[in-house]
Homo-oligomer: A and B are copies of this chain.
Amino acid sequence: MNMNTKNKEKAVVVFSGGQDSTTCLLWALKNYKEVIALSFDYGQRHKKELECAKDITDELNVEWHVLDMSLLNQLAPNSLTRTDIEVDKEAPGDGVPNSVVDGRNMLFLTFAAVFAKQRGITDIITGVSQSDFSGYPDCRDVFIKSLNTTLNLAMDYTFCVETPLMWIDKADTWKMADDLGGLELVREKTLTCYNGIMGEGCGTCPSCKLRKHGYNEFLTRYKQ
């Protein structure tokens, strides 16, 4: 890693232990002198998500914090947080999948901003992507820009919400991880599977299909 590229001081990465946020963490480590990873415990279906997040931050030697967001579960019971609701078997079409928790990204990013300001940090990194937003309105660029303005006004502070994956697809997210020297880490240590299986996952849930499709596209696009 070329240390000269670390031209920025400090960043907080919103970190789930999945493919996207792990790629963002690698991106942050390349660009910032100091990086803090922040995860949220909202009673997610798979506690293993937080275990993966811990293992990845241990391996990368990154400061890691978990915030308790159990309140979210009280407010918006749904398929990612309650075991008695089945997740959508198929990838969503135009509609929003039933795994959505309304306003979740907004709450996570706002808590991350409070946390960041407490430590004198302005830069907050999130792995949302408009190219691949699957119907979630709070993954859109227009939302992130509006949120950035609102956060600045709320706390009279100049936050900078960075979204390295906003305009790239899953194939180019794999490419980014590869360029950052983290392809194997992302392939083997991250968890995106709805059924809680690390790495390649169950292979049949919508998230695994998306991940595998993106990886194959990455190989086709860049490795042939």
Separation of A143 and B69 alpha carbons in the complex (Å)? 24
Cross-chain contact B105 with A154 (CB below 8 angstroms): yes
Cβ-based interface call for A219 (8 A): no
Query: Which residues of chain B have C-beta atoms less than 8 A from A68's C-beta?
Result: 71, 74
The reply to whether B69 and A71 form a contact with Cβ atoms under 8 Å apart is yes
Is A61 engaged at the interface, CB distance under 8 Å to the other chain?
no
The segment from A11-19, A109-117, A197-205 found at the interface with B is A109-117
> Which of A2-10, A144-152, A187-195 contacts the other chain?
A144-152
Residues of chain B within 8 A (CB-CB) of A106 are 110, 150-151, 154-155
Q: Which residues of B contact A146 (CB under 8 A)?
A: 146, 149-150, 153
Per-position binary interface string of chain A over residues 95-122, scored 1 when its CB falls under 8 Å from any chain B CB and 0 otherwise: 0100000110111001101110110000
A67-B71 contact in complex given A106-B154, A156-B137, C-beta closer than 8 Å:
yes
Please give the count of copies of this chain that the complex contains.
2
Within 8 A of B (CB), among A35-90: 67-69, 71-72, 74-76
- Taking a contact as CB atoms closer than 8 A, the residue among B69, B117, B150 that contacts A102 in the complex is B117
A169 interfacial contact with B, CB 8 Å: no
State whether the Cβ of A168 lies closer than 8 Å to any Cβ in chain B. Answer: no
A137: nearest residue on chain B (CB-CB)? B156
Q: Does any Cβ of B come within 8 Å of A138's Cβ?
A: yes
The smallest C-beta distance from A117 to any residue of chain B, in angstroms, reads 6
In the complex, whether A142 has a CB less than 8 A from a CB of chain B is yes
- What 14 new A-B contacts, CB under 8 Å, besides A69-B71, A72-B114? A67-B75, A68-B71, A75-B114, A75-B115, A76-B114, A102-B118, A103-B110, A103-B154, A106-B110, A106-B151, A137-B155, A137-B156, A140-B153, A146-B146
Q: Which residues of A contact B (CB under 8 A)?
A: 67-69, 71-72, 74-76, 96, 102-103, 105-107, 110-111, 113-115, 117-118, 137-138, 140, 142-143, 146-147, 149-151, 153-156
